[in-house]
Chains A and B, each alone.
Chain A
């Protein structure tokens, strides 16, 4: 079974630009969660989507948004990029039953110059 895939793997943007990251979950998984990983803040939860609806949201500004499509693929968008948005963005998928672990993708490394 193929794992979680994320595209692109690396991205370089400049301040003020916007970016869209994509995540394809494991086949059959309907929940997709996004996390930001930085050396200073570690791994932080951004949001979770299930059946095209945002179910949970972390403590990030409104510049960070996402959506999920009917095939469970998800996109994350960051508008008006800031230098501090440079991070590894991880996507994880699960069945979203009560007792189910999340499977992580390799991440998208975003660098903001």
Chain B
């Protein structure tokens, strides 16, 4: 069965620190991968996506993620976080073309000014 794991439940960082959030997925076929962000009081927004091609994908607001097929991972990174990055981050996967996202449990990021 398809599943997504996010190992960090709550991460607290100071501004300008680097961020890496882990995401592992379990699926044997071709998979599309996503990171969504939910800012306080707002709805889910897409940060970045991977469908195929270059395994290093860049998203909005300086975020990037690297798809490592051999490790079934799609970790999210940002070199220098800002207070405005405080939010909940969700990793998601779907079988290519299936339109049924499987989400991780989310990682709450708190950035201290």
Contact = CB atoms under 8 A, between A and B. Distances in A.
A56 B90 contact: no
Interface of B is mostly: loop
User: What 3 A-B pairs are tightest by C-beta distance, nearest first?
Assistant: A43-B103, A104-B44, A56-B100
B103 A42 contact: yes
B83 to A, nearest CB: 23
B102 A105 contact: no
Contacts of B46: 101-103
18 contacts: A35-B101, A42-B106, A43-B90, A43-B103, A45-B100, A45-B101, A45-B102, A48-B99, A48-B100, A55-B99, A56-B99, A56-B100, A90-B44, A98-B97, A101-B34, A102-B46, A104-B36, A106-B43
Question: Contact residue range for chain A?
Answer: 20 to 34
Interface of A: 31, 33, 35, 42-45, 48, 50, 55-56, 58, 90, 92, 94, 96, 98-99, 101-107
Interface in B78-113: 90, 92, 96-106
